[in-house]
Structure 1
Amino acid sequence: MKNFASDNTSGVHPQIFEALQKANISNVPAYGDDEYSQLAAKVIKQHFGEHVVPYFVLLGTAANVLSLGSVTPSWGAVICADTAHINSDECGAPEAKMGCKLFTVPNVNGKITPEACLPTIQAAKDNVHHSQPKVISITQSTELGTVYTPNEIKALADFAHANGLYLHVDGARLSNAAVTLNLPFKAFTTDLGVDLLSLGGTKNGLMFGEAVVFLNPALAENFIYMRKQSMQLLSKMRFVATQFIEYLEADLWKTNATNANIMAKRLADGIKDVSAVKICYPVQANALFVRIETKLLERLAKEYYFYVLDPNDHKDYPKGYQLVRWMTSFNTTTEQVDDFIQAIRK
């Protein structure tokens, strides 16, 4: 099957494989006390600020749950978009592992605003019967393939801090957002007041591994114990760390994300005048959400693999249409995209 389902289905970049092989040639200290982990932390600091405190984990869900859990007590709450990955795609892990509550607010093209968060904060304030909001969590780029601007992030950070909250960014596709914004990572995270970051790479060419980055270092206290207790302290941590060295030091993150974004834009441009399909949200990273005639969907699905979204979640389209997601990745080629375009047009 020709695949436009997810950037999770793509393989591992050859440079990452090579880096893993190089890290496999000798014995080194375990549990992150090795030179690879130390160098990887230094490289992350170069991108996000010398004061930040990074920790490596295995999974994106773990990065989100542990970073949010580090600042949210069991009686606390996290405010997020109703479309947020932590709300809809992590099998209740935040609630189960943090023991706290998620408050969801409406999104506009995948984004939330201070205005959307305010009623939730006001309703809970000083009410002993309500969980108390402690963090606002956003995703960059969003679950709908859009990208927060620096002004939007700054507004949320200022709003969060004015109300005694922290701002967390789920950066599973942070590299795609950086390419879209044409900005270094620090310029739209640390410099704007973001407190906590889940830094991803698996969706952009890494084999496994993510990082929890405390942009506000005061929040990192005791995290080493949380990570161990949550079974995310890998004994052979060098194999996570060496990937981040190659990924960040050689600007592989940028090369990979640039290709993914360009391929998504190419696909969008190639189908925008086809009457049987309608692109539902701005294509700003590497995802397209498309309303498509059911007949066309059934024919395409015989040859192409992609996700058809739950109709109960997306009701704003007429009978005879369905909503699908098409994604591109670091190894998507122009030939693959053009073949898909021609299949749709045909």
Structure 2
Amino acid sequence: MQHFASDNYAPVHPEVMAALTAANGGPDVPYGDDATTDRLQARTRELFGPKAAVFPVLIGTGANVISLMAAAPRWGGVVLSDVAHANTDENGAPERVGGLKLLVCPSTHGRITTEAVRSWSRDLGNPHRAQPAVLSLTQSTELGTVYSLQELRSLTEAAHDLGMLVHVDGSRLANAAASLGTGLRELTTDAGVDILSLGAAKNGGMIGEAVVVLDGGADAGLVETIPYLRKQTMQLASKARFVSAQLLALLGEPDGAGSQRTAAGAAGVPGPGATPGAASPSGREPLWLRNARHANAMAARLRAAVERTLPGDVVRVTHPTEANVVFASLPRRAADAVRARFRFYDWADGETPDRVEARWMCSWATTEPEVDAFVEAIAAAVD
């Protein structure tokens, strides 16, 4: 069965698998004190800034919980979108494991506004209310949209003005960067983000993500707290080098001696005439960018084909398509018929009981023929 259910369904990218095999060449020190993780640390500083520190973890929920615990005191709350993964799909882990109150903002197409963030200022200094301590943004959002650089800067400035730190759930950060044509640093450190959950599994990895403390978070002392939280939350892998190897395959190896790359390129920001994110010492675009760009292109192809070939009053796209996912409303009977060949998820009820809003997600491994066959199956089901 072919799938458009999630980018988690995709296989491991061959370059990632090769990196895992290379990391398996012999023994090495456990718990992140290995040579592979050392190289990942060097690469992280090249891409995100001189104070950045990377901590490989096992899963994205773990990365989010550790990040939020590090950034908030015990009496702190986390301001986030109503559709944020930490709010809807982590089974209460931030609350039960992290002991954090989630302070939910309404969103439009998954994005929240500076006004929504500032509204929590009314609780500052009130001992009867959880204190807004962290703003958590998802980039790209759960609804496939992307915060622009200006939107990001406005949100981080609003949060910092209230004394809050800023976390980004970047399980699909690569897709956002590819969509905006930016480097990773421009989208995080330079935009005022303090701590990042960096995704890998959704962009060609096998298993594992990372917590990345950025320059602002380092100044706030977060680097010193993460090692203890990572162990306490059961996210410290003994053979951490195999997580680090995947991240290195995606991000690229650190600069070698004699590299002539510019300082901008080394930071993951395009220099004059350069391709955004093209920071690999080999001169080739990094795997994270190639994979994300392809996944985004497949989603754009899917949306274009839906709007070109299917009647808009029967199949209606419901959110902007800015990353690697398409949301659409269609008859339930048609959705169920298509699911006999293509796996995908129902996201929400439709406008009427006989309709459903579906989520169709593309990955690095999605092909053009698969997209075309999927649209043909939908057309046959609604005919």
Classify the TM-score, shorter chain. Answer: over 0.9
CA separation in 2, counterparts of 1:181 and 1:14?
A: 26
> Which of 233, 237, 244 pairs up with 1:241?
244
Gaps of 5+ in 1: none
Answer whether contact 1:73 1:98 (CA < 8 A) is retained. Answer: no
**Matched residue count:** 341
The letter of the residue matching 2:111 is K
1:8-64 Cα distance to aligned partner (Å, 9 max, x none)? 111100111111111111111111111100001111111111211111111100000
The letter of the residue matching 2:112 is I
**Alpha-carbon distance, 1:120 to partner:** 2.5
SS at match of 1:266: helix
> Which of 352, 355, 369 pairs up with 1:318?
352
CA separation in 2, counterparts of 1:305 and 1:121?
A: 44
CA separation in 1, counterparts of 2:76 and 2:30?
A: 35
SS at match of 2:97: helix
What residue number does 2:335 align with?
297
Answer whether contact 2:67 2:211 (CA < 8 A) is retained. Answer: yes
Gaps of 5+ in 2: 253-279, 281-285
CA separation in 1, counterparts of 2:248 and 2:226?
A: 22
**Alpha-carbon distance, 1:127 to partner:** 1.4
1:257 to 2:256 alignment: no
Answer whether contact 2:77 2:134 (CA < 8 A) is retained. Answer: yes
SS at match of 1:39: helix
What residue number does 2:162 align with?
163
Answer whether contact 1:291 1:322 (CA < 8 A) is retained. Answer: yes
**Alpha-carbon distance, 1:222 to partner:** 2.2
**Alpha-carbon distance, 1:204 to partner:** 0.5
**Alpha-carbon distance, 1:192 to partner:** 1.3
SS at match of 2:41: helix
**Alpha-carbon distance, 1:322 to partner:** 0.7
1:288-331 Cα distance to aligned partner (Å, 9 max, x none)? 111111221122122211001243xxx6x234211110000000
1:229 to 2:232 alignment: yes
What residue number does 1:308 align with?
346
* Percent of pairs with identical residues: 43
CA separation in 2, counterparts of 1:310 and 1:280?
A: 11
What TM-score results when the alignment is normalised by the length of structure 2? 0.87
CA separation in 1, counterparts of 2:20 and 2:75?
A: 42
What residue number does 1:332 align with?
366
**Alpha-carbon distance, 1:118 to partner:** 2.1
SS at match of 1:102: strand
1:34 to 2:34 alignment: yes
Answer whether contact 2:118 2:158 (CA < 8 A) is retained. Answer: no
SS at match of 2:54: strand
CA separation in 2, counterparts of 1:132 and 1:153?
A: 22
**Alpha-carbon distance, 1:116 to partner:** 1.3
Alignment of 1:55-70 (within 5 A): 55-70=55-70
Over aligned residues, Cα RMSD in angstroms? Answer: 1.1
Moved more, 246-255 or 104-113: 246-255
What residue number does 2:103 align with?
103
The letter of the residue matching 1:147 is V
What residue number does 1:188 align with?
187
What residue number does 2:133 align with?
134
1:283 to 2:317 alignment: no
The letter of the residue matching 1:12 is V
1:114-167 Cα distance to aligned partner (Å, 9 max, x none)? 101222231x12211111110010100000000000000000110011110011
What residue number does 2:255 align with?
none
What residue number does 1:83 align with?
83
Answer whether contact 2:348 2:358 (CA < 8 A) is retained. Answer: no
CA separation in 2, counterparts of 1:278 and 1:47?
A: 39
Answer whether contact 1:171 1:199 (CA < 8 A) is retained. Answer: yes
**Alpha-carbon distance, 1:110 to partner:** 0.5
CA separation in 2, counterparts of 1:140 and 1:253?
A: 15
The letter of the residue matching 1:101 is K
The letter of the residue matching 2:301 is R
